[in-house]
Chains A and B, each alone.
Chain A
Amino acid sequence: MSRRHLRRSVAITMVSALSALGLAACGSSEPQTSTEPDQSASDAVTQCEDLNAAVADAPASGADEFVFAASSDPATLNPFHASDGETFRVARQMFEGLVGTTPCTPDPAPLLASAWEVAPDGQSYTFTLEEGVQFSDGTPFNAQAVCDNFEYWNNQPKGPAQTEDVSYYWLSLFRGFADTDPPSIYDSCSPNGDTEVTISLTEPFVGFVAAMSLPAFGMQSPSALAEFNKVANGEDPTSTEYALRHPTGTGPYMLDTWDRGNEIRLTANPNYWGEAPRTPNITITTIEDPGARRDALLNGEIDGYDLVAPGDIAPLTDAGIQLVNRPAFNILYLGMNQSYAGAPLDDLKVRQAIAHAIDKDAVVAQTLPPGSVTAKEFIPPSVNGYTDDVTEYPYDPEMAMTLLEEAGATDLEIDFNYPTDVSRPYMPSPADTFNLISTQLEAVGITVNPVADQWTPDYLDKIQGTEDHGIHLLGWTGDYNDTDNFLGVFFGRPSNEWGFDNPELFSALSEARQIPTVEAQTSQYQAINQTVMDYLPGVPIAHPVPSLAFGENVVGFVPSPVQDEPFTTVVVTE
């Protein structure tokens, strides 16, 4: 018997044995070999606008309760001390800020403030407030309350309260507190009657108005804070009585009960100044495993969940589940560490070669959710400073190989780092994306050395804390419409992730941040985007479209690129 025949026989015997256990099932649909994405990004925005328009026609009421599954329990109910999406999801139901967002966009729109004026020097902002607004505890929302909030934020006690772990947004935007050295850029707040308030900063901060739409700056009831929020120096403020049992805002819902680790129940705020929510009770239950969330929705135990895995889209749709796309406000990129010891990634030609080797359309079509689009720069199109006029690197393996030859780097071997056990909105299945890009790189003669690490802490430790990585997959979801929130975070200073020192770029970014008006900033950021795409520290790959899944009887949900999604208009029809 030939060797092959023997192998076959053994294999067939084993297969028969296994099949006898009767567990084989055939694969489903036809294999997908397309390399063209089948939708464009504007579709997600168009879909969103359609949903928004449909809200007016949706039923005014339905079931008494709406159940949503979150991936983790909120860390605290005091939004100022939160920085993760699940805590914010809950916060968005109970709190509102001076500024909200225009539906389906990341752009600021009036909310608690009906209008605002910026002084020419960009350092002073005057807001006109809505009248007749109350907090859920019945106390009035007015100019004094606004100032009380700012003073509360600026005067955090020493200790954990003054770290990024606890007060991330204030610290990163205002860069300090009243008693730090240097102090924060917040100077003072002065009420003018009940409905006008002026906030003064010590330096211009163009993104200030947009930043006020962040849930961290939701307006909180000063009297509730005073009564329940006692924090001493050195103490952790996230577990005060206020944060656990009495979070008080002006939003459509208020806290009913919080069974920590398990679920949180919200009920309609009787003192709400706007249109009353159509579903009076919300339960947000915690199910940590994404597959378990999907199973729970299929089984009717919950009414919706966020961040559907690409692999579940088809089965869910087949089962009648509705999928809602959230307009993309993120970026997925391939970072290239210019301090990498194993290959000359600091050679521009090598980076360009890698860029040309990647078929972004295929990556989007095969590994990202439908509706995702390819990216040509490091910010999404809706962000200020986006320009189509940047250097592009189309898929061209021939060009890639030529460039590698020119650079004298024809037998490169590069560590390709990617995370496991994680799904981010901008990177739903990292291993699949890794596999595809890896194949594309190998096709131009680059040997890829896969380095997989668990997301927390190993992957982030390695990429952001050390120089021991080659090329890697990472990304970012924007918090609000400010270019610095993307470019500043990536390229504002020397970092282990990118491994380069480019003083002109750093100073261009810090100057741009200081420019007092949005219009003037725009041209500056456009220029910076062009510079970045010439310098090519990494390859921007795509703007993936995250999606939510809802039961077939759920209507009225309107997604938001920055997750400004109160459940006010959601109805579970019967």
Chain B
Amino acid sequence: MLRFALRRFALIVPTLFGLSILLFAWVRILPGDPARSLLGQRATPEAIARVNEAYGFNEPLVQQYLSYIGALLHGDLGISIDLKEPVLNAFVDKLPATIELTFVALLFAVVVGIPLGYYAGRRVGGWVDTAVVSTSLLGVVIPVFFLAIILKYIFALKLGWFDTANRQSARIDAEHPTNFFVLDGLVTGNLGASWDALLHLVLPGIALGTIPLAIIVRITRASVSEVVHEDFVRTAESKGLSTSVINRRHVLRNALLPVVTTIGLQLGLLLSGAVLTETVFSLDGIGQYLYAAIRVRDYPVLQGFILFIALMYAVINLIVDLSYGLIDPRVRVS
């Protein structure tokens, strides 16, 4: 087990290293002059020269790369040249928003998707099955941002059931010790704030959640329908166990396995979707941060961000693989 873990972990380092070189090169090919981006309409040649000098944009590439790597090894992801705050601070600050959104999306997908997939899988070919499959397919093919716009328009603007922007109503003065707004309310005893933050996650969560929803429905459905015909289920039935007991004890548990393993894959999709969803709902997460950084060619943010995502993604996939290895011994040997 340990060897398995170490082997997987060891692969991350060269991958990230390769990525850092690519990133460095990428950021330099990006069209646009960062000095000019910073200065906007007030850019004069002297001003540009001064900025290049002060921020070291003139130094030879190799030197810039070395200082970049050096800083990286100290855990310094650089300083945003647009907002002047350290990139790492900004991530740590904004990551909770994205995590909350992703969590709600996954929750929605699991809570709605597994039961739907289960019932569809039990009666393959029936009308329930067709309805469920079609609906979940729609979740995949409707672009996330489009769905987000529609949900916002109908449920927030027209019906007024929800707010249209931000993670929490600006009229609520709440403290944020953890920056997970829903959690913060519980921690500080301000339940109204928690509830408000949760409400702000409903529409974006549903919009984003339609992506994993489709996948979870399909996998659950396929697993359930396969498992239902497996020997051990027939054995259980012949032993006289009631259908519901069979369902719960055997079918569901075995069907859940593939769902768990694909969560790692789905997190990647969720992150991409978060960039779009956060923009539509003005949520202050890393997705919106990336979008803004690309628009103004904020080099340090772009470099640091992608690297950070890669690391996070790799770690999460590693954890998922390890837990799969724990659950299913056959995997460890391969």
Assess A/B contact in the complex (Cβ within 8 A): yes
Chain A residues in contact with chain B, CB under 8 A? 65, 67, 69, 73, 75-76, 83, 159-160, 162-165, 168, 171-172, 236, 238-239, 259-263, 265, 283, 285-289, 292-293, 295-296, 298-299, 301-302, 421, 454, 456-458, 460-461, 464-465, 474, 476
B93 touches A238 (CB 8 A): no
Complex interface: chain A residues within 8 A of B94 (CB): 261
User: What's the minimum C-beta distance from B88 to chain A, rounded to whole angstroms?
Assistant: 13
Instruction: A261-B90, A296-B164 are known; give 13 further A-B pairs, CB within 8 A.
Output: A160-B51, A164-B51, A171-B47, A261-B94, A262-B167, A287-B165, A295-B157, A296-B165, A298-B157, A457-B33, A457-B34, A458-B31, A460-B40
Determine the distance from Cα of A557 to Cα of B166 in the docked complex, in whole angstroms. Answer: 25
Asked, given contacts A287-B165, A288-B282, whether A260 binds B160 with beta carbons under 8 Å apart, the answer is no
B253 close to chain A: CB less than 8 A: no
Determine the distance from Cα of A464 to Cα of B284 in the docked complex, in whole angstroms. Answer: 32
What are 23 A-B contacts with C-beta separation under 8 Å?
A: A75-B84, A160-B51, A160-B54, A164-B44, A165-B47, A165-B51, A172-B42, A260-B85, A262-B166, A262-B284, A283-B170, A287-B165, A288-B292, A289-B280, A292-B164, A292-B280, A295-B164, A299-B160, A456-B37, A457-B34, A461-B33, A464-B36, A464-B41
Query: What's the dominant secondary structure at chain B's contact region?
Result: helix
B32 close to chain A: CB less than 8 A: yes
- In the complex, the chain B residue whose C-beta lies closest to that of A74 is B83
Complex interface: chain B residues within 8 A of A263 (CB): 170
- In the complex, the chain A residue whose C-beta lies closest to that of B41 is A460
- In the complex, the chain B residue whose C-beta lies closest to that of A259 is B176
Complex interface: chain A residues within 8 A of B152 (CB): 295
B269 close to chain A: CB less than 8 A: no
The 6 A-B pairs at the shortest CB distance, nearest first, are namely A457-B32, A164-B47, A285-B170, A295-B164, A457-B37, A163-B50
| From B36, B43, B284, B295, contact of A454 by CB (8 A) | B295
B55 close to chain A: CB less than 8 A: yes
B163 touches A301 (CB 8 A): yes
Complex interface: chain B residues within 8 A of A295 (CB): 152, 156-157, 164-165
Determine the distance from Cα of A121 to Cα of B164 in the docked complex, in whole angstroms. Answer: 58
| From B37, B42, B79, B170, contact of A302 by CB (8 A) | B170
User: What's the minimum C-beta distance from A320 to chain B, rounded to whole angstroms?
Assistant: 14
Asked, given contacts A162-B54, A164-B42, A287-B166, whether A292 binds B32 with beta carbons under 8 Å apart, the answer is no
B7 close to chain A: CB less than 8 A: no
Determine the distance from Cα of A302 to Cα of B37 in the docked complex, in whole angstroms. Answer: 30
User: What's the minimum C-beta distance from A23 to chain B, rounded to whole angstroms?
Assistant: 10
B328 close to chain A: CB less than 8 A: no
- In the complex, the chain A residue whose C-beta lies closest to that of B55 is A160
Contact with A along B130-170 (1 / 0, CB 8 A): 00000000000000000000001000110010011111011
Contact with A along B264-297 (1 / 0, CB 8 A): 0000000000000001111010001100100111
User: What's the minimum C-beta distance from B298 to chain A, rounded to whole angstroms?
Assistant: 10
B39 touches A164 (CB 8 A): yes
Complex interface: chain A residues within 8 A of B93 (CB): 260-261
- In the complex, the chain A residue whose C-beta lies closest to that of B89 is A260
Asked, given contacts A262-B284, A285-B170, A292-B164, whether A165 binds B39 with beta carbons under 8 Å apart, the answer is yes
Asked, given contacts A65-B171, A168-B42, whether A162 binds B50 with beta carbons under 8 Å apart, the answer is yes
B43 touches A464 (CB 8 A): yes
Determine the distance from Cα of A130 to Cα of B167 in the docked complex, in whole angstroms. Answer: 43
B231 close to chain A: CB less than 8 A: no
Determine the distance from Cα of A164 to Cα of B41 in the docked complex, in whole angstroms. Answer: 12
Determine the distance from Cα of A450 to Cα of B282 in the docked complex, in whole angstroms. Answer: 32
B38 close to chain A: CB less than 8 A: yes
- In the complex, the chain B residue whose C-beta lies closest to that of A261 is B284
B43 touches A465 (CB 8 A): yes
Complex interface: chain B residues within 8 A of A454 (CB): 295
- In the complex, the chain B residue whose C-beta lies closest to that of A262 is B284
Determine the distance from Cα of A83 to Cα of B152 in the docked complex, in whole angstroms. Answer: 34
